Structure 1
């Protein structure tokens, strides 16, 4: 399968056009993300609880919809797997909503596991690409992931109250800043 350079250029042009035409919406979204991210960084326990509850509702709603669609297509192959998946989503969603503090602890454990796996993968990738320029940045990124995992793990259970909210807040701030920068750049180009 080959990549059509003309298709990539058309897609890039379409993105640039959309950005120029809707720069104000991107600016508003960026500002909202900056505000929400700032609130999350200032009050990480509130953000952690909010993330836990939102995930609970997402799992619950997706599970109910999955259960309904699976039942409606019960003659289709994979019925039992779909049924189990939908039931599991409902169970997880219900548990997160019923016990959000315990859910936040579970999410923190998942976050620790993610940082460990991501850190090890980044370090392994970096060491296998030592002959490429700036491979050290990837190595440092992997080490930072492992340090974050260790710090969060060492602080359990108290880190469960703030770790998810703080990291979501930081992510929102960087995402918001990127959107604001793109929108202002597109405004100048318009």
Structure 2
């Protein structure tokens, strides 16, 4: 099978999974938190094991403490996935609001340019989105799943387009 065909097939599969994630955003949110918990558990365990090979006492302690924190967070996400969804959604809300605020400040510096309005609108929309999700418990529960679904749709589309590009350039 040609590389271009493989890319197109993976892109279609990713696109389908993105549609499924958007159709079941709450379940996808729980899956994101559970997978994140698993990655944190494994990563934290490896960090603790790696700490044994660190020679400096401060470095060893740092490795063990960060590893223990990762294990705790991973276990917490797996044991309490709904709390994990809320925690990760809150983190995303903070990032959305902070990014929106920074874009508004940056837009103010671009007042005399054509980039002012797009930057200002982008910043205001980010803050409004953060406020909406914060005010709606349902939106908070769906946020991670929607972000995953949109990312998978865009990734799938990108793979399909890249596969078609390769098919055209290969002859």
Same fold (TM over 0.5): yes
Q: Which runs of 5+ in 1 are unaligned?
A: 1-20
Structure 2 CA distance for aligned equivalents of residues 174 and 134 of structure 1: 25
One of 35, 51, 60 as aligned partner of 1:54? 35
Runs (4 or more) in structure 1 with deviation over 3 Å come to 74-77, 130-135
- Given that 2:107 and 2:115 are in contact with CA atoms closer than 8 Å, whether structure 1 keeps it comes out as no
What is the TM-score when the length of structure 2 is the normalising length? 0.89
Structure 1 CA distance for aligned equivalents of residues 32 and 94 of structure 2: 18
Distance 1:127 1:182, change over 3 A: farther
Superposition CA RMSD, Å: 1.8
Q: Deviations over 1:11-42 (max 9, x none)?
A: xxxxxxxxxx7323332332222111101110
Corresponding residue of 2:70: 89
Q: What count of residue pairs does the alignment treat as equivalent?
A: 169
Structure 2 CA distance for aligned equivalents of residues 127 and 105 of structure 1: 33
What is the TM-score when the length of structure 1 is the normalising length? 0.81
One of 130, 144, 160 as aligned partner of 2:140? 160
One of 23, 27, 37 as aligned partner of 2:18? 37
CA shift for structure 1 position 74? 4.4
